[in-house]
Amino acid sequence: MSDNKTFAPSSAFQAQAIAGAELYAKAKADRLGFWAEQAKSLHWHKPFTEVLDWSHAPVARWFDDGELNVSYNCLDRHVEAGLGDRVALYFEGEPGDRRVITYSELTAEVKKAANVLINLGVVKGDRVAIYMPMIPEAVITMLAVARLGAIHSVVFGGFSSDALATRINDADVRVVVTADGGYRKGKASALKPAVDEALADGKCPTVEQVLVVKRTGEDVTWTEKDHWWHDEMAKAETEHMAQAFPSEQELFILYTSGTTGAPKGILHTSGGYLTQATYTHRNIFDLHPETDVYWCTADIGWITGHSYVVYGPLANGASQVIFEGTPDAPHPGRWWEIIERYKVSIFYTAPTAIRSFMKLGREIPDKFDLSSLRVLGSVGEPINPEAWLWYRDVIGGGHCPIVDTWWQTETGAIMVSPLPGVTSLKPGSAQTPVPGIEIKIVNDQGQEVPRGEAGLLTITEPWPSMLRGIWRNPGRFHEAYWSNFEGQYFAGDGAKWDEDGDLWLLGRVDDVMNVSGHRLSTAEIESSLVGHPWVAEAAVVGAKDEITGQAVVAFVILRLDQVEAAGAAENISKILREHVSKDIGPIARPRQIMVVAELPKTRSGKIMRRLLRDVAEDRPIGDVTTLADTSVMSVISSKIAGGASD
Ligand code: PRX
């Protein structure tokens, strides 16, 4: 069984590794001293004297009396150290356009962009929404916002205008930065119309200015709030001195799905976040910035794009690839071609991508020279051992260590992962808390469970990149993470230690789904469905899916009078799936909609999703004794078997 097969680091890898086993001992001996040492790898305009103030728990203050500028740490300091000619970004646009941007050039662009934002009235603490494709201007904007001590809220370009409007309004955004569009699967895909729609009819009253990058050149409608990026950049001053801000200056808000309908605005601050993003990026990926070419395939719309495309790699002075589009366009070997072209040495992606490549067969990657690779990473969901082994053999040539990294939007940076020069790797297990991180697996009562037994993953000591709250919602912050177990952060994940003391992640234990490594809330999709006039009630579950990990399956009770009035006997599922896609974004579109007459509920009215999952995964139905009406499930399953799903 793959549980026991491990892969020890080669002695050659070990000999050159950035992180050695002594990190664990150092962090154990003096955790706060250890984090202080990591923080000192950054440039502090004013050094800190205090490491952690936990007196306002669960809101931590790290390096509180220190002052720094996050953008300066990612840019100017490298140029000042004589590294200005090092490549920061190798950009691969989908139509085949390429740009190589050095640290000097990136610094110059960010300085100008900071001046553009100043000219548009942005000051410290203002919120700026970023709704952009994966182009260098997206990275430039994030760093420009950070440079001013303003707060960015990146909204994934695949989200709908409604989702954008909700996020803009929750944070009272003043300026939106967008593009006319980006390229996806061989076509221009518009973005600006979604911003127009979000702002129409005074729906987002706080937005004063919109800055628009010209990417596709498609026609756009123009309002008095709109400014072209290139016009403003041409006018802007070139010099901008980065000012020091307190360590706890807010850096960004990033919305993520929780167990209830509205997305949560996860708040991160500067010094602690940058410390842990930088430290983990260097040690876990074994980054040698002078020689490595790093590539993380995440979009900046997700936390992985924040910490491991923008802040960690740039603070470490890495050279990295960023790409626009999808892995399969213009051809299914695109990623491997990119690795070959840039001699990528460190590659970080998600299990769902690996599984889809596996399905296409090794003939595709085998056509390319992947011999530059030396470290592989995985993130977003558990990686099944089969996919792990394929990743190692076919992509990693049988010799690259794989770091399976567990973390969350809320944790800000990696929390559990092997160290590639230390850990004997075990396929499918994330294995070990990162040095400096304390994790316990507990039962419902908060007692630690023995090895081999499943429990709930909790984090027992504050960590530098931890979230500082939910934007303007301290009550929800407390309730969501700190109310289950006194003084411990509850992550929402099930986990176990195996007999060797390695950690295995067992998936979410709440109503959050994980589709292709993206978090989706069952409640958010249910509320979208019942927002449609034909739907009386809806229940959504995440059902196992071979490629995407989980897939959205919805059970709906129809309002038959409405359906009849609309004369829509056919295509009901298709229409409802499109409705969700438009409402939230294509990633939330249900794979399947099952029309049912009733939903299984407990006597207190709670929907028993466990039973619906049994149906969705085509398994025998589990224990139904707590249902208010025990016959409901047989009605549902016979109806489904009779072909009621789409
Ligand atoms: O369930 C865990 C899963 O993804 C959740 C966090 O999602 P999000 O905030 O969108 O961040 C994803 C990228 C960091 C976690 O609660 N997850 C993430 N990484 C892993 C994982 N599950 C198992 N193994 C992982 N390596």
Reference 106, options 150, 144, 134, 133; nearest CA is: 144
Find out whether 456 and 441 touch, Cβ atoms under 8 Å: yes
Around ligand 1, the residues with Cβ closer than 6 Å are 256, 303-304, 379-382, 404-409, 430, 491-493, 505, 508, 514, 519
Average of pLDDT values for 626-633?
A: 81
Reference 465, options 179, 137, 70; nearest CA is: 70
E-strand ranges in 316-454 read 319-323, 346-349, 375-379, 402-405, 439-442
What pLDDT was estimated at residue 640?
67
Mutate to test the pocket of ligand 1, among 253, 505, 511 (most ligand atoms within 8 A of CB): 505
**pLDDT higher than threshold 60 for residue 644:** no
**pLDDT higher than threshold 60 for residue 3:** no
**Range from 95-99, 168-172, 592-596, 627-631 carrying the lowest mean pLDDT:** 627-631
Q: How far is the CA of 343 from the centre of ligand 1 (A)?
A: 28
**pLDDT higher than threshold 90 for residue 605:** no
Entry pTM:
0.93
**pLDDT higher than threshold 90 for residue 606:** no
Looking at the chain, how many residues does it have?
646
Q: How far is the CA of 214 from the centre of ligand 1 (A)?
A: 34
Distance CA 195, CA 131 (A): 8
Find out whether 162 and 138 touch, Cβ atoms under 8 Å: no
pLDDT digits (tens, 9 = 90+) for 521-550: 898 899 899 999 999 999 999 999 999 999
pLDDT tier for residue 135 given thresholds of 50, 70 and 90 = very high
For the record, the structure tokens of 290 come out as 């002078």
pLDDT tier for residue 601 given thresholds of 50, 70 and 90 = confident
Distance CA 391, CA 284 (A): 18
What pLDDT was estimated at residue 645?
46
pLDDT digits (tens, 9 = 90+) for 9-49: 999 999 999 999 999 999 999 999 999 999 999 999 999 99
pLDDT tier for residue 2 given thresholds of 50, 70 and 90 = very low
Higher-pLDDT residue of 222, 608: 222
**pLDDT higher than threshold 50 for residue 646:** no
Task: Work out the mean pLDDT of the chain and round it to a whole number.
Answer: 95
Average of pLDDT values for 570-581?
A: 93
Which ligand 1 atom minimizes the distance to the CA of 414?
14
Which ligand 1 atom minimizes the distance to the CA of 507?
1
The residue contributing the CA closest to ligand 1 atom 8 is 408
What pLDDT was estimated at residue 4?
63
Which ligand 1 atom minimizes the distance to the CA of 404?
26
Which residues, including other chains, have CB under 8 Å from residue 369's CB and lie 6 or more apart? Answer: 340
Residue at token pair 């969501």: 480
Average of pLDDT values for 376-388?
A: 95
pLDDT tier for residue 1 given thresholds of 50, 70 and 90 = very low
Find out whether 386 and 379 touch, Cβ atoms under 8 Å: no
Distance CA 463, CA 389 (A): 32
What pLDDT was estimated at residue 261?
66
